[in-house]
Structure 1
């Protein structure tokens, strides 16, 4: 990764590339749907979305959230990070995590959390190299609420 491809704020124009990268992670989404999500999230002060560009394409994206909950108080979490499979080990992911850590510090935060699916074993050493410590494993449950 070179200086020209330093992380920058995401824009609506990134929707197609963000959707493409989301598909690589196993979350396929159409560009118009991603555009609508970005329209909702980009103005929010509690969401931080950055991308690393390579010409017209993206090498990666990250989103972090600031949350307030009864049990934990104010917290910060990386809720999505994707690096193009052809750009792995090129410093893109590290740069994206670093810019989020800076944002958290600027917000007065002292801790950053990331959750990584157990089946994404290749990402676990990456997060450990970024200074994250595994604190627990958990089960995640989903309940569909659509009418039968």
Structure 2
């Protein structure tokens, strides 16, 4: 992934119901690309970004040791069901294994039931369900936009 991929990334995110502005995605992407603990891997089809997976090294104190977490997976709608998602997940697993991380976690929203058998088919076990909560910490409240997704 390169900073120049931000406009295409906006298109892919919109396919999952996360409309974004190119400038916002570009800023976020720049931070991830500079991060020592996060990585983005891409699927390229003929020079066009067809999908991506974000993976992150996660230290933990609670119930898990340090592990990797898949933070995002998107495959272009026109390229789905061709194995790109599976390939991207495997690449994230390899990234984690090369860093000596013993496990990888992925979270899948309950409103995306089609993704649950996908991950289970790759050997992932459902370990919990949870709710996500959000609180705006900006001075006036409401200035920070949180995309809860579909």
Q: TM-score, normalization: structure 1?
A: 0.87
Written as runs of structure 1 = structure 2, the 5 A alignment for 1:2-41 is: 10-41=1-32
How many residues are aligned here?
139
**Corresponding residue number in structure 1 for 2:81:** 89
Q: Relative to structure 2, which stretch is displaced further, 33-42 or 66-75?
A: 66-75
Written as runs of structure 1 = structure 2, the 5 A alignment for 1:54-133 is: 54-71=45-62, 72-133=64-125
Displacement of 1:56 in angstroms is 4.1
Q: Distance in 1 between matches of 2:9 and 2:87?
A: 17
Unmatched 5+ stretches in structure 2: 142-150
Displacement of 1:74 in angstroms is 1.2
Unmatched 5+ stretches in structure 1: 1-9
Q: Deviations over 1:86-108 (max 9, x none)?
A: 11111110110010000111010
Match for 1:49 among 25, 34, 40?
A: 40
SS of equivalent to 1:42 = helix
**Corresponding residue number in structure 1 for 2:146:** none
Where in structure 1 do 4 or more consecutive aligned residues deviate above 3 Å? Answer: none
RMSD, matched Cα: 1.3
